[in-house]
Amino acid sequence: MQPTSKRLVTEATVGEHVLTNLPANLQPAALDATYAPAAIARRAVYGPRWVFDGDSITINGISALYGNQDRSRTWTSELARLSMGRINYVYNAAVAGYRIDQLLARFDAFVAPQDPDVVLLTAGTNDIRQGRSMALWKADLLAYYEKVKAIGADLIVGAIWPSSDDSSAHAPTARTWNNELYAWAAANNVQVIPWDTLADPATGGWPAGWSSDLLHPTLLDSYAVIGKLGWQSVEPKVGPPVVRRAVTNGADALANGFFTTLTAVQAPPSLTAGTADTASGTLPAGTYSYKYTSRTFWGESLPSAERSVVLSATGKITVTNGTVSGSRGYNVYRKGPSDTAWKFITYLNSSVTTSFVDDGSIAAGTDMSGVDTSQYPTGLVSGSTTAHKIGPVTVTEAGIRGRIYRSMPLDGSAAAPNDYFPITVTAGETYDISCLIRSTGTTEGILIARFRNASSVAIGQVYVARDRMVNGWGLAAHRVTMPADTVTLRLSFEQTDSSSTGYAEFAEVRCQKV
């Protein structure tokens, strides 16, 4: 199946692109009402259980670590996140390089034991590349379908992926096989997710800039776009929302409350002295007033009481200040003789100096905002020496219960934020970890479960969410078992690396022992 016109596939256009290129008999209105209706009624948290199966594009960044699956970059995680808990993502059975016959041989050992309600299978790329016949592929597809039905689950199939690698004449062969897949699916009342509509119509391969090796879509927002296409395709059949979303003040929230109790406040420093000196300096004569604010990883305090100094002639002014426990440093603001607003002058590192000399060499900067962002979540510990700011942490948006935590580099810094809650656990315990999460710009928002032993030595980590989540708010959820020797779980809220721009936001954080 081919789109009828060439167009750039982006996150903004993917929904329209998919629906306009679906065959008429597979438009959402023609689909059966709901996947796994019985499962929706009996599973109270996170909806029906889903297992994903396929090859390297489906498994992508997911790996098995410490008895857990590491939910790194992949479209499957993005699809589940966008479902807001209507998909309970329990397992990814995909294996890089596998054909459908190999996936079929693994079904009883890797898929069936997960007790899925829905299995989403995408297979065929490696069958084509490894020279199998379409007849064998279709026979194995039917056998796979029968196995899914035998365990009482529903099957969804993905169309064969686009590929820009023409060494095996993939594109024309994939079109033929996909036509057969759509016909087979219609005859068996199986939904197809039209991954083939993502292809560049002129080449049959991935859109420009999506793939560095011509086979895997790992660049730009490719996995975010694929995940959104997947969710838009299955949403009409997933059923009504039944998830008990992360609770911010209730029995299934941890005692520390995460971002719900923002009563800890960073105080400003006191300005202990201010002296004028006309022996040197280029500051014009007049009355100068100063205010300081405290800076932490998470925000900026309200300003201190002002300190005014009269300079009788051209010179300089020295201001000294006290210190505030927990502050990373202090912002200095000034209002000069001709100023109508307080202006930013400089930042003082609290570990270096408690004295500032204003000699006229520093140009005044931006106006002081007067917005207090000094409240920080109870129990949060800085994971590095990186400065942060929360932004509108006390703002609750429509549809969000509790406050929102924003993580971003401070004042344009390229450093990557890293904050965490330390939680006392016991090896072998299992926790459901979830939060609402989104990101902007080039930022990859990250929620990680990090494991530490009694000596605070790192045992390992598991990603709950990691990607450029540019599709808005979604619910990332993962069941994680504590590895041997673990005594502390560090639930970390991070961004990817020093090249990130924009910010990541977290809300409704939940970490509940099962």
Per-residue CA distances from 206 to 69, 123, 214, 217, 456 (Å): 28, 17, 7, 7, 45
Separation of alpha carbons 86 and 17, rounded Å: 24
Q: What mean pLDDT value characterizes the chain? A: 81
Q: Residue 171 gets which letter from DSSP?
A: H
Among 268, 481, 270, 263, which residue's Cα sits nearest to residue 380?
263
Cα→Cα distances 428→42, 67, 328, 480, 490, Å: 26, 10, 37, 10, 16
pLDDT at 187 exceeding the cut of 80: yes
Separation of alpha carbons 165 and 168, rounded Å: 7
Tokens of residue 275, six digits: 């002296």
For the chain, give the percent of residues with pLDDT over 90: 46
Residue 376 reports pLDDT greater than 90: no
pLDDT band at residue 261 using 50, 70 and 90 as cut-offs: low
Average pLDDT of span 28-49: 57
Residue 7: is its pLDDT beyond 70?
no
Pair 226, 214: CB distance under 8 Å: no
Which of the four pLDDT bands, split at 50, 70 and 90, describes residue 219? confident
pTM as predicted: 0.75
For residue 409, the number of C-alpha atoms closer than 13 Å in the C-beta half-sphere is 19
